[in-house]
Structure 1
């Protein structure tokens, strides 16, 4: 198990670390994520008719803009509907890549592998986002399904429900297939996290119950004694607990997170009204968090601050109270509401400020969706760059995960304003962080990719460089001083 920051640095790094020396309090550790939706070509790729090079260039542009805005994570939708945005032997290539399900990109490339490589160059984590049970989205209802789509493999357990095709979470073969899909990606790709959104059992279609009566009857016949609603919830609980355990068995450093519907049940907390995800989606999201199955919870608090019926701060505080294992809460924020609901950019700015004000309890935000920032809709990028994400940040430390400790930077040298060091060869470094000691705190100056070996600072003073591993554990530090004529080797 990696050492904690307390062991590494003592009391100093338990204190809030500031990015600026003025009156701001932007944290040096904060999860700053953006959802990158592929369903309906929402965020990327923008069209199913793009060439391979166009897809690559579009993704590079997206990552460049997020890096410039000091984001440090994307939640990339890799399985929107029983399909794959990566090279899979279990499921067909996605319709959203090529316009034909099962047809690979040409010239051939692996979009997920490409995304990971390019994101990591920019110190951006990649959390692979899966829809566990949707077999076809309504946006492709007239499109043919590939022969290896789950609807053809297990037709008795895939139903038309509303405009979609939906897998039956109560069928063991469906559960097993979903787990294989998740673990295949964990095994073969250098992802930083596994992510599920709010779709478990589907959102209800008015007047139509989900058609799983034969699966439930089989359960009862075999001796099961749960009522229908409890049985459905137990099916989802089983999936979440199973994934939590098996992801860590394969790679104990891969993070597991879910962004459920933001209201667990109406009345929690008092005065909250709205859709009941516990009884309608059969999602006992509070249980998943309280049991410690999740490394982070990102409740979709897609409401404004002030309306009391769905109060952003009231719901955030309630979710923070459920965090019995002291894992992480990263609020999901509805950035697209500046278009869809005509919210002001100030609303989103205030929401991040509220999350930050719950110091040491709320650790960041994930914004839906990336397109708002990439296209600077209603000036969102300008606002966030100037007022919200003004400087880089490391992702928060997850000390309960397991990974090798990062070695400290070696052969650190200074010459004038330039710093150099020998790049890591251990494979245990994800990035380097340089801090500047100003006004009695170490302010984060920059975060650099693992292959970096030099950096030029702009001010004289005392500095620290550390290496950081993939779960946020920092190495012991190398301290150095930059002066007008500094030239030295540090350790």
Structure 2
């Protein structure tokens, strides 16, 4: 057995090569939304037992891992509820069929999800809906006593087929902020995430009933118009969430997935709903000022129709990225079922996103996870055979600073071609990245969790690097694994 061990001061190249010679990104965010509202993705029913819920989630994570996903965005607060143990809000109806009732036998779903995802080297971004108080019903019947609609009844409104909290009420904003603070403090999550629900989508002919809150603002000397005041209320919460999260754990990433159109006419060919004017979401401002670490605009349209063209909208969003944050596009995978899209449409969208890597378009998030875990229309198989045929590390956010993890220690190869190394004692290693040298290019072969300390290799040159929770890698330790066939060291 010939083993040559070298510590490299230089990093692994930033681009890998596929077998056909085309570039493959080493770093790419590959996420899936796991929606819990209405039991869309998980748990599939609130009548499942604890063991069934756990099995269903780990099976979904196993499938996504096999398909080379590296992140999940898990909905932990659908509507003033909690899919985790909270002293502030009631247990979710979608877990047990009764709001406020804990799982029995007891477990903490968020804690369980974080542990299981991290075993698989997948990030967990906790997804919150800030203002929605009830989905699918405007009634308060059946809400737990500590639900926010009962805490602040004067600021909870029936609107359309939902119950909604008033974003302009400071007491509501402060409470929502306390929920974020609680989760970030107590759970080992990798990110927090909000989607497109700020003010509710408008109901034709029905005004959002916040006139008394706005009147109080004007009476106190406020001069903003109603629309600007609403936007300012949302802006305040978004900015406070970012600063609060960073003050507690600077490594926790903050992401938002707004409606894909900021305003019709931006760019000029785009038509559709204005999230700026209808949802009072000035998402352009959040990206421009760096109030997020990543933006995931929901580009839930096809590539070709000009009214909502996927590449045209993507280019517009990238142009707003003045602070050089990451853009991970939100893609509508469910459309292969709901709208009969061909899987090739989504594959083409990923290619277009990758074509813009130099503008920090660095990944995709798919709605929703079950489309891949169920392999609808063979989408999982098709992505794994082409777009996601190799693993990828999450992109490193250079503005989130952390020291590089220590170089792997005591690397050696055994007679059965297994590479071994010592465990981490620093506490800073999240995973181990294994590379193999092919045609003068280092290919990422595998990403292993921190407790795995060996890798079954084949003859050839390998490199091992430790990776911390922010994706920063150590220097590489390389070795050659193979039989001695010629008595000259280094000769092939």
State the TM bucket, normalised to the shorter chain: over 0.9
Do the aligned residues in 2 keep the contact of 1:19 with 1:444 (CA within 8 Å)? no
What secondary structure sits across from 2:474 in the alignment?
A: coil
Deviation at 1:414, TM superposition (A): 1.4
- Once residues 403 and 86 of structure 1 are traced to their aligned partners in structure 2, the CA distance between those partners, rounded to angstroms, is 28
Aligned residue for 1:311?
Answer: 309
- Once residues 82 and 143 of structure 2 are traced to their aligned partners in structure 1, the CA distance between those partners, rounded to angstroms, is 13
Do the aligned residues in 2 keep the contact of 1:415 with 1:485 (CA within 8 Å)? no
Of stretches 75-84 and 221-230 in structure 1, the one that deviates more from structure 2 is 221-230
- Once residues 11 and 397 of structure 1 are traced to their aligned partners in structure 2, the CA distance between those partners, rounded to angstroms, is 19
Aligned residue for 1:237?
Answer: 235
Q: How does 1:199-348 map to 2 (within 5 A)?
A: 199-348=197-346
- Once residues 270 and 12 of structure 2 are traced to their aligned partners in structure 1, the CA distance between those partners, rounded to angstroms, is 35
Structure 1 residues 353-383: Cα deviation after superposition (integer angstroms, max 9, x where no partner):
1111112321000000001011111111111
Aligned residue for 2:418?
Answer: 418
- Once residues 471 and 65 of structure 1 are traced to their aligned partners in structure 2, the CA distance between those partners, rounded to angstroms, is 24
Deviation at 1:19, TM superposition (A): 5.2
Aligned residue for 1:137?
Answer: 135
1:121 is matched with which residue: 84, 109, 119?
119
Compared CA separation, residues 140 and 55, structure 1 to 2 (3 A): farther
Deviation at 1:481, TM superposition (A): 1.1
Of stretches 315-324 and 195-204 in structure 1, the one that deviates more from structure 2 is 315-324
Compared CA separation, residues 308 and 72, structure 1 to 2 (3 A): same
Compared CA separation, residues 167 and 413, structure 1 to 2 (3 A): same
- Once residues 351 and 272 of structure 1 are traced to their aligned partners in structure 2, the CA distance between those partners, rounded to angstroms, is 18
Compared CA separation, residues 213 and 139, structure 1 to 2 (3 A): closer
Q: How does 1:32-51 map to 2 (within 5 A)?
A: 32-51=30-49
- Once residues 167 and 402 of structure 1 are traced to their aligned partners in structure 2, the CA distance between those partners, rounded to angstroms, is 36
Q: Which residues of structure 1 form unaligned runs of 5+? A: 1-8
- Once residues 60 and 138 of structure 2 are traced to their aligned partners in structure 1, the CA distance between those partners, rounded to angstroms, is 25
Do the aligned residues in 1 keep the contact of 2:257 with 2:330 (CA within 8 Å)? yes
Tell me the matched-pair count: 478
- Once residues 169 and 177 of structure 2 are traced to their aligned partners in structure 1, the CA distance between those partners, rounded to angstroms, is 13
Q: Which residues of structure 2 form unaligned runs of 5+? A: 1-6
Q: Is it true that 1:477 corresponds to 2:476 in the alignment?
A: yes
Do the aligned residues in 2 keep the contact of 1:19 with 1:28 (CA within 8 Å)? no
Q: Is it true that 1:367 corresponds to 2:366 in the alignment?
A: yes
Deviation at 1:425, TM superposition (A): 1.8
Of stretches 265-274 and 91-100 in structure 1, the one that deviates more from structure 2 is 265-274
What secondary structure sits across from 2:15 in the alignment?
A: coil
Deviation at 1:410, TM superposition (A): 1.0
Deviation at 1:457, TM superposition (A): 1.5
Do the aligned residues in 1 keep the contact of 2:8 with 2:477 (CA within 8 Å)? no
Do the aligned residues in 2 keep the contact of 1:267 with 1:273 (CA within 8 Å)? yes
Of stretches 470-479 and 75-84 in structure 1, the one that deviates more from structure 2 is 470-479
Aligned residue for 1:448?
Answer: 448
Aligned residue for 2:4?
Answer: none
- Once residues 340 and 138 of structure 2 are traced to their aligned partners in structure 1, the CA distance between those partners, rounded to angstroms, is 28
- Once residues 425 and 17 of structure 1 are traced to their aligned partners in structure 2, the CA distance between those partners, rounded to angstroms, is 30
Do the aligned residues in 2 keep the contact of 1:338 with 1:378 (CA within 8 Å)? yes
Aligned residue for 1:388?
Answer: 387
- Once residues 406 and 139 of structure 1 are traced to their aligned partners in structure 2, the CA distance between those partners, rounded to angstroms, is 49
Deviation at 1:20, TM superposition (A): 3.0
Do the aligned residues in 2 keep the contact of 1:429 with 1:468 (CA within 8 Å)? yes
Aligned residue for 2:181?
Answer: 183
Aligned residue for 1:153?
Answer: 151
Do the aligned residues in 1 keep the contact of 2:10 with 2:475 (CA within 8 Å)? no
Q: How does 1:22-171 map to 2 (within 5 A)?
A: 22-138=20-136, 144-171=142-169
Structure 1 residues 371-407: Cα deviation after superposition (integer angstroms, max 9, x where no partner):
1011111111111111111111000001111334311
Aligned residue for 2:439?
Answer: 439
Aligned residue for 2:3?
Answer: none
Structure 1 residues 50-96: Cα deviation after superposition (integer angstroms, max 9, x where no partner):
00000000001100000000000000000000000000000000000
Deviation at 1:227, TM superposition (A): 0.6
What secondary structure sits across from 1:84 in the alignment?
A: coil
Deviation at 1:11, TM superposition (A): 11
- Once residues 255 and 352 of structure 1 are traced to their aligned partners in structure 2, the CA distance between those partners, rounded to angstroms, is 22
Structure 1 residues 257-310: Cα deviation after superposition (integer angstroms, max 9, x where no partner):
000000111111121111100000000001000001110000000000000110
Aligned residue for 1:401?
Answer: 400
Aligned residue for 1:468?
Answer: 467
1:197 is matched with which residue: 192, 195, 198?
195
What secondary structure sits across from 1:127 in the alignment?
A: strand
Do the aligned residues in 1 keep the contact of 2:263 with 2:274 (CA within 8 Å)? yes
Do the aligned residues in 1 keep the contact of 2:8 with 2:475 (CA within 8 Å)? no
Do the aligned residues in 2 keep the contact of 1:127 with 1:195 (CA within 8 Å)? yes
Deviation at 1:412, TM superposition (A): 1.1
Of stretches 425-434 and 258-267 in structure 1, the one that deviates more from structure 2 is 425-434
